[in-house]
Amino acid sequence: MTHDIDVLVVGAGPVGSALAADMLRRDLRVRLIDKAPHAFEGSRAKGVQPRTQEVFEDLGVLAEAHAEGGTYPLLGIHLGPITVPWRMQRRYEPTPEVPHPNILLLPQSRTDAILHRLLDRLGLRIEFGVALEGFEQDGDGVTATLSSGERVRSKYLVGADGGGSAVRKSAGLQFAGETDQSDRTLIVDATIDGLSRKRWHVWPRPGGRFVGACPLPHSEQFQLMFRLKPEEAPEVDEAALAARFHSLTGLRLRDVTWTSVFRPNIRIVEHYRAGRVFVAGDAAHVHTPAGAQGLNTGVQDAYNLGWKLGQVIAGAPDSLLDSYEAERRPVAARVLGRSTELYAGLDQRKLASLKRGDEERQIGLSYRGGPLAPADGLATKTLQVGDRAPDAPCTGPGVSRLFDAYRGPHFTLLAFGPTAIGTLPELAWPDGGAELRCYAVRSEGDGDQSSLADTTGQVARIYGITGDVLILIRPDGYIGNIIGSDWSAGFAATAKGLAP
Ligand SMILES: Cc1cc2nc3c(=O)[nH]c(=O)nc-3n(C[C@H](O)[C@H](O)[C@H](O)COP(=O)(O)OP(=O)(O)OC[C@H]3O[C@@H](n4cnc5c(N)ncnc54)[C@H](O)[C@@H]3O)c2cc1C
């Protein structure tokens, strides 16, 4: 049976939208459906972590995200008549290797809108008001039934359809874990008169039932959180919310634009793949919002899966798609544990549980030891196969830092030292799938299109270079291989696993 499209993506939240954008720039034929009548309108996931900002930079939307977002204010903990300032996030200075080191405060509706505008520029119309009703798959593709009655035949189907994922359920994938029905938080977007916008206000209450109000950038609004009592049925009309907030804080709340009751689910799917069907984002893992990881982990899922689908559709081995679960499931399992730990701290009213550290930034995440990054592979002084490829200043045609050279859907090969550089013309890369861009990295530039000048020595320092070496960077910015001898054969073996 012929295929109408390459990939049907279900769910136009941040994860489905990021995935669709990545695949469109690989020239795949994509459709993106969402059962909601329009884009999501609340502030829900408001923390964009440093690694996600790097993904947004690669997709070309980071400037918009920075323009529409802001920095996280200090917490202001209201203890009777005094307000104690408390730094939840340490501020980091940008470094050559980590250009965007701090979490960005950006309401989810704006993140979604930025990605939707990108999709529009890439020529995709999101099909709102269209739900996935079911699908069947065979060895050659997936036939999905949509609520419009249409049947769509695609090579692959990805469920980025949130925690209640219809794709996950239809694929029969178990979602192991727990939901604590008694623990709920009411989330509200509203304006508060007379409250300083310089603090994320927290009013502690007995039993961890705090009230919080975080100012949302470039607006008059706050995101409010009311941790509810187990038996409580909250009233969410504006008058009731205003009365409740006034009785707790003495302040006036008005102009409510969004409300939601959140239950901390802690679940992870047993498999990320069922044949030609994949799940990503909340469809694959849900956890507490503590640590601002959900959206970020989901966008990283999309970034890991997009290039693999592109390569396999172009003819790369199917095993590349198995590496999606092998690389991403351990990350989600770890996030689940960490966010549960931070959330439990709120119950115990531990100030330490309000501290966010390095792990949350997702910069140090590595796929070391996974199927694409054997633990016994060659390492440099600073990097191993599977690690994030850091940024570093350098100069070349249209390039003033390594991230400029990496930006786009291609693989990048950096050659250091005369022997490694000399092998570049001998290395074979297939015509199909993602392109390979090769650069000779030298201390002085020679103006050549495929040369990068490391005049400050920062590239060599950050990449831990001590001798002749080839470093392959995957399209998602992780180190695909480090080759220090047997150049052509070593490179051919790597290419065989990643390319058609
Ligand atoms: C209170 C709260 C605070 C949070 N704070 C943070 C934070 O600070 N940082 C962070 O990273 N994360 C946070 N999260 C988590 C974050 O909101 C989610 O992880 C994120 O929205 C997941 O994105 P997604 O694209 O996977 O799913 P969603 O955003 O849920 O999108 C799924 C989409 O699929 C559509 N859909 C569902 N079923 C179907 C169907 N059958 N057919 C077609 N379409 C369908 C839905 O309409 C929806 O648009 C928070 C969550 C909550 C509740």
Which positions ≥6 away from 123 have C-beta within 8 Å?
24
Burial class of residue 225 in the structure, from the number of CB atoms within 10 Å of its CB (0-12 exposed, 13-18 middle, 19+ buried): middle
Q: Per CATH, the architecture of 70-98+181-263 is what?
A: 2-Layer Sandwich (3.30)
Ligand 1 contacts CB of residue 35 (under 6 A): yes
Per-residue pLDDT tens digits for 12-21 = 999 999 999 9
Query: Does residue 278 contact residue 156 with C-beta atoms inside 8 Å?
Result: yes
pLDDT tier at 87 (50, 70, 90 boundaries)?
confident
Find the 202 Cα to ligand 1 centroid distance in Å.
25
Per-residue pLDDT tens digits for 363-422 = 889 999 999 998 888 999 999 999 999 999 999 989 999 999 999 999 999 999 999 999
226: tokens are 């009311």
Per-residue pLDDT tens digits for 52-77 = 999 999 999 999 999 999 999 999 99
Q: How far is residue 420 from each of residues 431, 440, 483, measured CA to CA in Å?
A: 22, 8, 9
Return the pLDDT at 394: 97
Find the 162 Cα to ligand 1 centroid distance in Å.
5
Return the pLDDT at 405: 97
Ligand 1 contacts CB of residue 298 (under 6 A): yes
Residue among 200, 220, 221 at smallest CA distance from 210: 200
| Residue in the block written with tokens 């977002």 | 69
Residue among 435, 302, 500 at smallest CA distance from 27: 435
Find the 386 Cα to ligand 1 centroid distance in Å.
28
Ligand 1 atom with the smallest distance to the CA of 17 is 25
Model pTM above 0.85: yes
Ligand 1 contacts CB of residue 47 (under 6 A): yes
Mean pLDDT computed over 237-264? 93
Is the pLDDT confidence value at 348 over 60? no
Find the 106 Cα to ligand 1 centroid distance in Å.
15
Ligand 1 contacts CB of residue 393 (under 6 A): no
Residue of 17, 108, 226 best suited for mutating to test ligand 1, as the one with most atoms within 8 Å of CB: 108
Query: Does residue 46 contact residue 216 with C-beta atoms inside 8 Å?
Result: yes
Give the whole-number percent of the chain exceeding pLDDT 70.
93
Mean pLDDT computed over 484-497? 95
Query: Does residue 46 contact residue 170 with C-beta atoms inside 8 Å?
Result: no
**Closest residue (by CA) to atom 33 of ligand 1?**
11
Residue of 10, 44, 185 best suited for mutating to test ligand 1, as the one with most atoms within 8 Å of CB: 44
Ligand 1 contacts CB of residue 224 (under 6 A): no
Q: Which CATH superfamily is domain 393-498 in?
A: Phenol hydroxylase, C-terminal dimerisation domain (3.40.30.20)
pLDDT tier at 228 (50, 70, 90 boundaries)?
confident
Distance of CA 469 to the CA centre of its chain: 30
Query: Does residue 79 contact residue 349 with C-beta atoms inside 8 Å?
Result: no
Is the pLDDT confidence value at 339 over 80? no
Per-residue pLDDT tens digits for 121-171 = 999 999 999 999 999 999 999 999 999 999 999 999 999 999 999 999 999
CATH of the domain spanning 5-68+106-176+265-361: 3.50.50.60
